[in-house]
Amino acid sequence: MPLNLSADELLQLAPDASSVKSARGLVIPAKWPRLEYDETAIWGECQGSGSKPYQTQIDLSGPAFRCTCPSRKFPCKHGLALGLLHLQHADKFTQAEPPGWVSEWLTSRTQRAERQERKQSADVSAAPADPQAAARRETIRLQRMQDGLAELETWLADRLRQGLAQLPGQPEIWDAMAARMIDAQLPGLAYRLRRAGGLVGRGEHWHGRLLAELGRMQLMIDGARRLDTLPDAEQTDLRAALGLSQDRDAVLGSGERVSDDWLVLGVFVAEEERLLLRRAWLQGRASGRQALLLDYSHGSARFEPGLVTGDTLTATLAFYPGSAPLRALCVDPPQRQPDRLPVGPTALADMLSRLAGQIAANPWQSPRGLLIAGVPQPTDGAGWMLRLDDDCALRLQLNEDGAWPLVAIAGGSPLTLFGEWDGEHLRPLSAWAPGLVWTDARSPA
């Protein structure tokens, strides 16, 4: 089984641009005293700074990566380099039986997948849980949440009474209150508190933006107190915003299903609350429907399935309920198609109309995916913007390393760009121009 990715697609799995640069520096066969393969995996040993070389391996069925180096990035530079070596210097690999350190890992992956299947089967056939015990747990949880909401409301009132001018000297209070919300089982409010703390002192009009964010938190508190009186769809939206988990099995069993060829518009990976988070944004080729696949991984980004910007996936998605359903799950493993991304931008008027409708239906969703055409330009001060027309521009959350490749691709003309909009900034995840693709601060493909 060959590595079913091109070099550009492999590098899109990298956690950051520095990993790509480091990996390219290791694509030298002389640095790998051992390079081998069989029909299921490729593996090698890379000489590092220590006396013992790093053992690196790739399960071709994923692909999935493993390395003995101390890096917490996934895949690490050695895994990326091994994949590039196999693509660019296949003649340097020797066919062989997997050594113990490879076969043990492959066996453990197979066993883990089998255990997961057995667990899912057992969950289906398991006897129903004790309803009285479940009700008691729910009562305790709801009381903890209500106590947390009351504490946050008092805290917000204190911030307003003391005045916003003191906040630049109090950076620690946001993380402290966010930790209290985690204890109260309200992680959605913890996320918003940290985001609000990041607004303090940033930009000339940070006071107004901060007040708006604090107002949204107060609105969430008010809504949570009368949650049972809201329509079902609004209840679902608010529960998700508060961070209350929704049952995956229920979504897979009864969620709205849409079958389509889904275009992977962009993928974002970050660390959040000691977990790695992945947001993958899809758009249906026939339905035009946008979907968000949200996954978490503990320890390393072993996300299944592996998704690469520009892929086309044939899949059936089950959507979480809500006023404007966006988040979805794959009902079955998606099938990757050979087509590349032939997607065009949304007209500005249509994009603004669609965005207004989404916000009206569910004001809590953040970020939102935007597909738009524009010209990247530096602002008058520090920073960058995407010029949409003579009268409209969006501020970009982009550093110099990512901005200049975008400018080069655009060449002064509009390019198609997809990114995450948080209400203030657009974080670019991918961009297209004739014959060129840009993804998340990496070089054009």
Residue range 179-184: average pLDDT? 90
Percentage of the chain beyond pLDDT 90 is: 32
Which is more confident, 346 or 57? 57
Q: Which residues contact 267 (CB under 8 A, 6 or more apart)?
A: 12, 278, 279, 280, 281, 307, 308, 309, 429, 440
Q: What is the CATH number of the domain that holds 422?
A: 2.40.50
Largest CA distance in the chain: 72
153 and 232 in a single domain? The answer is yes
Domain end call among 242, 271, 298: 242
Indicate the pLDDT class of residue 123, thresholds 50, 70 and 90: low
Residue 271 sits in the same domain as residue 303: yes
The dihedral built from the CA positions of residue 205, 208, 213 and 214, taken in this order, carries a sign that is positive
Mean pLDDT of 344-372: 86
pLDDT score for 444: 32
Do 38 and 90 belong to one domain? yes
200 contacts 209 by C-beta, under 8 angstroms:
no
Say if residue 165's pLDDT is above 60.
Answer: yes
Strand partners, 336: 313
Residue 340 has pLDDT above 50, yes or no: yes
* 28 and 12 together in one domain: yes
Of 200, 226, 242, the position where a domain reaches its end is 242
pLDDT over threshold 70, residue 146 = yes
Domain assignment of residue 126, yes or no? no
Which of the four pLDDT bands, split at 50, 70 and 90, describes residue 418? Answer: very high
Question: Do 83 and 166 lie in a common domain?
Answer: no
Are both 218 and 276 inside the same structural domain? no
Integer Cα distance of 432 and 414 in angstroms = 10
Please tell me whether residues 145 and 215 are part of one structural domain.
yes
Average pLDDT over residues 290-307: 75
Q: Is there a single domain that holds both residue 228 and residue 259? A: no
Considering 114-118, 227-231, 382-386, the range whose residues carry the highest mean pLDDT is 227-231
Residue 374 lies in a domain: yes
Mean pLDDT of the chain: 84
371 in a domain, yes or no? yes
- 273/182 Cα distance (integer angstroms): 10
Residue 122 reports pLDDT greater than 70? no
301 & 262 share domain: yes
Assessment of whether the complete model's pTM goes beyond 0.75: no
Residue 342 is assigned to a structural domain of this protein: no
**Is 1 a domain residue?**
no
Residue 117 lies in a domain: no
Rounded mean pLDDT, 90-114: 86
Range 168-187 average pLDDT: 90
Alpha-helical (H) ranges within 243-298 are 248-254
Whether residue 228 sits in one domain with residue 286: no
Question: 127 lies in a domain?
Answer: no
Sorted by sequence, the CB contacts under 8 Å of residue 368 that are 6+ apart come out as 355, 358, 420, 421
Query: 81 pLDDT band (50/70/90 cuts)?
Result: very high
Domain hosting residue 404, numbered range: 348-439
Q: 252 and 227, same structural domain?
A: no
**Predicted local confidence at residue 274, as pLDDT:** 62
Cβ atoms < 10 Å from Cβ of 241: 22
| Residues 200-229 pLDDT 10s | 988 788 999 999 999 999 999 999 989 889
Q: Comparing 306 with 21, which gets the higher pLDDT?
A: 21
Structural domain includes residue 285:
yes
Q: How many domains does the chain have?
A: 4
Shared domain for 297 and 356, answered yes or no, is: no
93: helix, coil or strand? coil
In angstroms, rounded to a whole number, what is the distance separating the alpha carbons of residues 148 and 434? 52
Nearest Cα to 166, choosing from 218, 196, 194, 207?
A: 207
Of 177, 209, 242, which residue constitutes the final position of a domain?
242
